[in-house]
Every structure is written in structure tokens, then in C-alpha cells.
Chains A and B, each alone.
Chain A
Amino acid sequence: MAGKHSLFGPVDPAADAGYDEDHPPRKGFFTDTSICIGCKACEVACKEWNDVPSDHFSMLGSSYDNSFSLNANQWRHVAFIEQPKRMGEQESGLRRQAAERAVSLGMPAMGAPPDVLKAEALRGDPPQGEVMLPESGQDDAVDRPDFRWLMSSDVCKHCTHAACLDVCPTGSLFRSEFGTVVVQDDICNGCGYCVPACPYGVIERRKGPEGAKNVGIAQKCTLCYDRLDAGATPACAQACPTQSIQFGDVEELRERANARVETLHEAGIMDARLYGNDPDDGVGGAGAFFLLMDEPEVYGFPPDPVVTTKDLPDMFRKAGLAALGLLAGVAVSFVGKRG
């Protein structure tokens, strides 16, 4: 069971947890944020399949993100980031749109309705329905605007070294045969220790809404354990219309991710980078990893997370020394004669 790399280092998590050699290959997600369109189908599909309550309906003023963060009632969360930055060789499409309008196809168009235009023409005003664009090459902002929208669907990382699982005192959190990390709802007593242990802030104790199931219990993505058991794809990946969320064997996904980042680099999109794919990283590699277009913290990820239990042996050593110090201190206090 407990091996040399049980707390830190590359390891097959299912084998480390004691599954036989014939356990299924490790499953995970590769979320390619470069093709996420922010449709939130993953959020909806996850809630539908896993019966996750919808309890927050407020406009947060953070682009199109109104679901705030991953939490007990949000197992997929789509982040929206608006940046004054160009995305690779992106084009605005404005010039093409203008050209299409010149040859009218009788399609509904933006701008004022025709009778208004007519009235304006009678008054001698310039027609406002027509798009006035500067000559190509004159104004780069029209053709290639300095604006990009980053979208990313976040999820539990199903770490190789999962702090939530390590610190769980009841055994409610366990490692599945697929190498994923799952809460057993009927075991968890809601101690809440997993919540501060997670370096990504994923797992949370469900606070409500009243009447919802599992209130008071730690909740997070299960990588659709029930669907995996039946050989099906997790709901979010199934629902993703652009294959931004890809499900599969972690090893194969890692290769796919490497190839994808290479393709993007060749296309001149040098911002592309992988996050959580390295089995030597601070959590031993995530089962759910990402292709990002900017620094991790831009998306709300920690830049270089490390599983807290990496330092646990040293913590216990220090505590042991402190305990011995206390024992010795009290003994010395009682040795003196006076008083």
C-alpha cells in the first residue's frame, strides 16, 4: 500500500491505494481552454446528472461568469476573462461582414430599419446602416483588435497526491479504481478538514439550500464515478460541443495535450501552455489538467500548487519534538525544591 512516493512523487494512484494490477487505466480530463466557447453546457450537464442544487442566481459583474467558483454546488465552473490582448492571429471579421452587406442577400441586418434610412436620405444625412471602415492596413484595431476573451471550464483536479483524501479522518474520501478521488456521502461526517486542505479550493461542505441532499457533507466532482462504472463518458465531457473537455485515459490525454500545445505554438500562439500535466509536479500530476492561454492565476488557479502532506512527516517530527519539550519542561519545573 504505502510506498516510497505515497506522499510525493510520480505514482499510479490506484495501485498506490492497493488496487490489483488489473485495475482499469487511470481516467481523467484534458480541458483545452483554447477551444472553450463558454457555453456552460458542462455546468448544466453536471448539475443535471449529479443532482447538484442550483442555489445562486445573481449577476456578479465578472463578464459572463455568474456561478462564482467551484464549490459544493458547482462541480464545473466556467471562467470568463476579458483581456486587452490579441489572441494569436485572430481577426475581427468586421471587414468580411461589411463586404457581405454590400451585396445584399436580404438578410436581417444590424442598424436602423429601411424606412428610417429613407427619411435620413431625404434629409441628406449620411446613411447610418452602412458600416464605414477605414482602408485595410490603416487601422489595425479594426482587423485585429486588441481584445481577447479567455474561457475555461474548471473542475476537480483528481490529484495523484490528493490532500483532501490524505487528511480525511473517516475514510469517506477514497481513491477509486479509476484513480479518481470520490466522497462517500454516507460516510462523511462533515468535519470539513478536506476544505482547507485542497490547494485549488475545489471541495466544500454543502451549506444549502435547505432540503437539498447531503447538506453538511463535503461535496465535489466525482468524475461521474457512476457513469465510469457503466463505461460511459462523464456528463460534462459528453455535453461539451467543442471537445474542449476531453475525457479518457490520463496517459493518452497527456500525449494529446502535448501534441495540441505543439500545434498551437507552431501556429504562433505562444501563450498556450499546459497546467497540471506533469507527474513530477507538486501534486504528482493532476488527473484533470488544462491547456491555458495565460498564467494560471489569471484563471483563478494557484501558480505552483504543492500537496500539503508533502511536508507532513516533517510536521509530525516538529510536533514530536515540541511534545517532548513540553514533557521535559514540566518535569524540570517540578524538580526544583522551592515553593
Chain B
Amino acid sequence: MTLTGVSVRRRGRSILGPLDASLNGGGLSILMGPNGAGKTTLLRALHGLERVSTGDIHWTDPKDAEGRNQGFVFQTPVLMRRSVLDCIAYPLQLDGVKRAEAREQARARANEVGLNVNLDQAVMFLSGGEKQKMALARALMRRPRILFLDEPCANLDGRSVKEIEEILLRIKDGGTRILMSTHDLGQARRLADSVLFLHAGKLVEQAIGDDFFRAPQTAEAKAYLKGEILL
């Protein structure tokens, strides 16, 4: 995809951009930057959850632009008042798939993401990691070509983070393009094929993952990787 002069303004205040970027090929790209850098806003704008004020998002393959070919995992999983299985099956039910068939596929998807719990219990009784796995399984129900994740491992324990990361690598190997934001430098190092570093709503640096961590080019990125506070 190519972003040209993309900006998001809210109540007259600039939240993001204007920024230009190009994301081609597959793999897993990490959006990095301090709080308020615009990571979530950029992900939401790419997915169509946020109205772009100016600029244009051009998708090289028009199929990628279709919402049903994209999946989104929110930082705080949206918990529907349903059983775990029905929560995961929900996207297919929207597509008109019969409930039994949708639940069957949901069971397979839960298995794929290693969600080994009683799937008939209410989703609110799951642990934090299990809730995020449920959200991941739900986002994968339509077999998206692109998967957006907004800090999916925030507030999770180490074991859950490791499990989620392994799942993401498997999804990536399956050919799904992943764009994910994170605060966790260690996680970014482990997962990033490429990095987009944002600061104060601007795209400050874009690089291949290893290059970014080995030799960041901008003062902001250098300071961030050193653990300094960016204002």
C-alpha cells in the first residue's frame, strides 16, 4: 500500500500526519513510537475505522482494500456477550454462514491459535491472554489477507506474550501480511521484518527491522531505542 499525504484531524487538532509511506511485500511490520505518536490512529485509518482528513491510501491490490479481507485485533479485546465459540464464529454469521457451520469453523480457528478452553463458557471468564487469543481467532475467521494488531500483548504476562508471538509468526508464514503496533522493544526486535517509527504524528523513520535496531538513522529513533523519553 502507498500512503500519500495522509493526515487525521480531530476537532481541528492534528492527530496524525501528513505522512507518506510505502509498504510493499509480505511479512510483519511493526509500528513503533512513544505514546501519542499516532500508531493506533494510523492502524485505524488504514482499516477504515478512522476518517482520513487529507491524503490518499492506495492499495496495490484492490482486494486488500476490501474490509472483509482485513482483520483487526484491538488492544482491549471486544468481548461480546456470547460464548467463546459464538464470539469467534460471529464474522461468519454476518456472512450468512449457518450457525452450526460457523461454530465448526470457529472451533478449528480456536484450535489454530491454541485456545484450549471450554469454548461454551462466556467469554468474560477467560484470562487476559485467552481473551486476546479469542480476538485473534475471530479476526482470522474470514482468512484476512492483511491483519492489523494494536498492541495485542499490552498487559499480558510473559507466557501469553510468547504464545501470541508464536501464533503471529505462524500466521505470517501462512502468507498473511501483518501490521502491528507495540511499545515492547524486545517484541519488536523478535518479530519485525520492517519498522515504521512514528513520533508526534509523523513518520520519522522506516527501515528493515534488523537495520533499524542496529543503526537507527534519526535522532528520535536513536533516543527511543536508548530508552530516553521523547517529548
A, B assembled together? no
Q: Which residue numbers of B lie inside 8 Å of A, CB to CB?
A: none
